[in-house]
Structure 1
């Protein structure tokens, strides 16, 4: 008696024993940038010498300026970009993934080639470029951290913009009245918590669509702060809108390291708090009981409820914590950067922070890196405008938003967030 075995579909992966799925997304993206490099750096190559200044006058070790022949640099960079693109295509054809380090090298070389092309005959102060990039990224990083916590626990936080704006307004008002920047910092956190409290109450307790609540809160906070600014702060700006700013704190020795010293270790208290916040949120989410409960509620609230976790309370308090962190980002506008509150001064930073959350795949470190990328894109347009780059100013103004759209739609593609994010939990 013979036994007939059930037929098994003979797919290529089944035959080879390799079930790894590879995507052509990386080679295609690299090919697009390589083509752009050929067009910009070779076809429309510029002559001259591009100078990169690496040190400031107060650095302990003075690095020499790097002079790059613009046309030759563009040609060499383009050849290397083409090689990396070809290698990436070969890896994908061999069912292998493109390593992250190769994409990082590609991005760095493309940036060097572009900066050399844009600054032909001029000098780019690299520490200043990076310092400005970090400064512009600080509120984005705080907002992204708040977004990561909120979405990891299952609540889509579209209201980051409102939390940043509320934090900026409240910190300016309280710091002006009390004469204390620290008081303004705590007031900003309280304002962020208040906005997130409304988001949590409507979305968790009354099951209102989280995205709609977030959008409404953004409009509400924008209108409310704009009204108070016009009626209260503007007529009494000397008394109500002149907050003290945090002074820069230079870390001994570290602040004198070339390039990274002026960028990371000559900052204000809020920036140093940001460093701690990034490390604390990452460690807390992935290495503590708090983080385990948070992720469990965001992935499978019913299972979390079964083992005794209060889903509603966990979501409520973590959304409030997210609002407090985002409020710190708002305080940076008035206490660390601009120095006074301005109407709608966040200018969409909350939405870019939300994009950083998606680009960073709901990971605090990756979201921080994404926010730094957006900050760099924003500051690059300022630096190139100062040195008289041939790139149209209109394009440079669009650059941060183009990077945001490309990063979310092009680089991330399909990515899965927390399974229960945006879904109300109704206890059965």
Structure 2
């Protein structure tokens, strides 16, 4: 029975640790399917985490905090879209600038608003169990006794798959990311669709940040995203820009992080620094294993210039 409980707890921890990665990766998927490289997921995650913490801390309402995270994440995404689509700034540089700016601003304002730079005792989002189903062994607690954000994620993955591959909007989005000039000639507004996709990317990443502060740890500390935005990018590449595969890749990385936490609890004679490195090592190995096999959208990272005949 103890083994069963340990296994169930491990699965639940793996799922919960993968949630912020999955929200960020799904956001990155929409952005990159439209042809805009989004290295700024880390900054969007961190911005959403800070906004949700500030909103929940000063209002006492977790839902206002979550809405604020979505709005702030969307604004950061809108900034990235403006820089990349309108100003045609190098997309890698824009994403890195967003990451550095978000890290600096959230650190500054956390010290201004919170004592010692962190918000303590944030109100959290409560678990909602589905009567009857939550009592099923193993999968009951795993799938039917979770918080609303996990239920939302369960809905977003198939919904994103349907939207991308079964609707005209999804076809237009993929066309903009593959061959924007052909999409433009077919009457699709490349600029408008990329703006929408990148802004949505920021909203979803901000929601992932809100999960970190309002569900996962229930407080905010500086740089608490801790590279999750980059792991989300790795999951996106590992998942070959498909919602289901990307979500499963996030679950793999979440399971790896849960494993290293449990190994530390066993007090084995292993330096904890090596255990902390484990999720990032797995991410690198996953990317190396897919070298030459994962094909990104053809126009990814390439600004669209309507006057050009070479797009």
Q: TM-score range by the shorter chain?
A: over 0.9
Residue 56 of structure 2 is matched in structure 1 by 175
Task: Verify: 1:282 aligned to 2:161, yes or no.
Answer: yes
Residue 36 of structure 1 is matched in structure 2 by none
Per-residue deviation, 1:390: 5.3
Task: Verify: 1:53 aligned to 2:19, yes or no.
Answer: no
Residue 372 of structure 1 is matched in structure 2 by 251
Distance verdict in 2 for CA 1:388–1:411, change over 3 Å: farther
More displaced stretch, 313-322 vs 271-280 = 271-280
Task: Please state whether the residue corresponding to 1:54 is helix, strand or coil.
Answer: helix
C-alpha distance in 1 between matches for 2:160 and 2:226 = 26
Per-residue CA distance 1:219-261 (angstroms, 9 max, x = gap): 0000000001112222697xx7543111111112221111222
Kindly indicate whether the alpha-carbon contact (under 8 Å) linking 1:360 and 1:370 is maintained by their aligned counterparts in 2.
yes
Ranges in structure 1 where 5+ consecutive residues have no aligned partner: 1-50, 56-124
Residue 126 of structure 2 is matched in structure 1 by 247
Higher Cα Rg, which structure = 1
Kindly indicate whether the alpha-carbon contact (under 8 Å) linking 2:111 and 2:117 is maintained by their aligned counterparts in 1.
no
C-alpha distance in 2 between matches for 1:236 and 1:198 = 26
Task: Verify: 1:225 aligned to 2:106, yes or no.
Answer: yes
Per-residue deviation, 1:389: 4.1
2:184 paired residue among 292, 295, 305 = 305
More helix by share: 2
Q: RMSD in angstroms over aligned alpha carbons?
A: 1.6
C-alpha distance in 2 between matches for 1:397 and 1:244 = 28
Matched residue count: 307
Q: For 1:15-414, what aligned pairs fall within 5 Å after superposition? A: 53-55=3-5, 125-234=6-115, 242-389=121-268, 391-414=270-293
Ranges in structure 2 where 5+ consecutive residues have no aligned partner: none
Per-residue deviation, 1:173: 0.8
Residue 84 of structure 1 is matched in structure 2 by none
Per-residue deviation, 1:391: 5.0
Give the structure-1-normalised TM-score: 0.69
Per-residue deviation, 1:176: 1.9
More displaced stretch, 408-417 vs 377-386 = 408-417
